[in-house]
Amino acid sequence: MEDEENIEEELLLVESQLNGLQDKIKTLLDQQEELYERQAQLKAMLEISKTSRDASNSAPSVALEDWSGKFSWDSQADDTRFNVFGISSYRSNQREIINSIMSGKDVLVIMAAGGGKSLCYQLPAVLRDGITLVVSPLLSLIQDQVMGLAALGIPAHMLTSTTNKEIEKFIYKALEKGEGELKILYVTPEKISKSKRFMSKLEKCHHAGRLSLVAIDEAHCCSQWGHDFRPDYKNLGILKIQFPSVPMIALTATATSKVQMDLIEMLHIPRSVKFVSTVNRPNLFYRVYEKSSVGKVVIDEIANFISESYPNNESGIVYCFSRKECEQVAKELRGRGISADYYHADMDVVAREKVHMRWSKSKSQVIVGTVAFGMGINKPDDLYR
Ligand SMILES: Nc1ncnc2c1ncn2[C@@H]1O[C@H](COP(=O)(O)OP(=O)(O)OP(=O)(O)O)[C@@H](O)[C@H]1O
């Protein structure tokens, strides 16, 4: 009897020691996994840093190869350009950019606003197997792109603060398990720098060989020397570190050589092929009017300008400095018979999306906005700003 009690006592002791050990093993295994991950990151960083040093000592990043030559994907690319995107011929540099991406190169594109940058990554995204990740700075811009792609029948989604749980689940499944149809995924830079969950799904997608391309839109936002610096863009270098084998395309309309050097360094793409297109836009012109000092008169003048110059309700944007001003001017324009909505960063995302949608579908003529609206917005009949 006493023996049994002793045995039971020792058994309890052994079991509790075993439990303690299991906990320690789990902690050690977690630590081991973290260290492996960090080891891989550090090795990749070292590799990139060495390549970067070699590249700055030797190869210029401007295109040397003949990217307008013949490639195995030519006929498939032509077919997709025409039948999916409805575009009859390439504009300057588009074909060369697409060819260099399809060859697996990192690419830096400097092309004027409206020059056709989106096609440069969207067409390879459709041609390549797997999912293309696009980082873009503004929700309105992302919504605009996703709407456009959906209209072309290309499976594109966005993962932002406005994404509902069901779509989020669909996207995570597509990344993690390759389920469902997803070709192009748009995110804001905050997703990369703040969501560990997203990065882990992306890691799995890459691990399974399904991450086909990374595109950084409005790439000048990386540089403190650029006019639209966004702190979260600074963290996008992690993408090349984590996914060194995945080609990256960085696109911008405006980048001085200082900004270009900065973003090449930040994104870790020292060997990128650079394409610069001319900034000549014959359809773009500036007209300057003297502004009255009386607020009411200014609104009358804006309203007259819109209704006289654009009698067929062609779309446009009126910019104001403050959020309050946007609301007032939109109200005043409505009072003068122009269908105007306001758009600024103080509105919640659903309200902003609604305004953007109404304008995109030409249900309203004018958006009165702060600079929170406009960058990269693509509406063929957006004729005045
Ligand atoms: N080769 C082409 N031929 C005809 N239209 C084209 C061609 N390439 C692009 N486009 C059209 O030109 C318009 C502007 O293209 P896109 O939005 O890609 O410009 P962007 O360079 O991204 O401009 P932004 O800097 O303002 O974002 C779109 O309507 C697009 O469909």
Alpha-carbon distance of 183 to 176, in angstroms, equals 14
Q: How confident is the model over 278-313, as pLDDT tens digits?
A: 655 556 667 777 777 788 899 999 999 999 888 888
Structure-token pair, residue 117? 């940058």
Q: Which residue has the higher pLDDT, 193 or 285?
A: 193
The closest-lying atom of ligand 1 relative to the alpha carbon of residue 380 is 29
Encoded tokens for 218: 């409005």
Q: How far apart are CA 150 and CA 141, in angstroms?
A: 14
**Vertex 34: Cα angle to 53 and 192 (nearest 5):** 65
140 or 228, higher pLDDT: 140
Q: Supply the pTM of this predicted model.
A: 0.68
Pair 52, 270: CB distance under 8 Å = yes
By alpha-carbon position, which residue is closest to atom 1 of ligand 1?
90
What is the CA(107)–ligand 1 centre distance, in A?
A: 18
Give me the interface pTM, i.e. the ipTM.
Answer: 0.96
- CA-nearest of 360, 374, 383 to 138 is 374
89 Cα nearest atom in ligand 1: 1
Kind and range of the H or E element at 184?
A: strand 184-187
For atom 16 of ligand 1, the residue with the nearest CA is 116
Q: What confidence score (pLDDT) does residue 105 get?
A: 94
What residues flank ligand 1, with Cβ below 6 Å? 87, 90-91, 94, 111, 113-119, 253, 376, 378, 380
Alpha carbon of 379 to ligand 1 centroid (Å): 10
Interval 34-68: pLDDT, tens: 787 677 667 767 766 665 565 554 443 445 568 98
Q: Is 263 exposed, middle or buried (0-12, 13-18, 19+ CB in 10 A)?
A: buried
CA-proximal residue: ligand 1, atom 27 (nearest): 376
Contact 117, 251 (CB under 8 A): yes
> Which range among 33-42, 202-211, 325-334 shows the weakest confidence by mean pLDDT?
33-42
> For ligand 1, what atom is nearest to the CA of residue 81?
1
Residue-wise pLDDT for 83-109, tens only, equals: 999 999 999 899 999 999 999 999 999
Mutate to test the pocket of ligand 1, among 117, 136, 217, 276 (most ligand atoms within 8 A of CB): 117
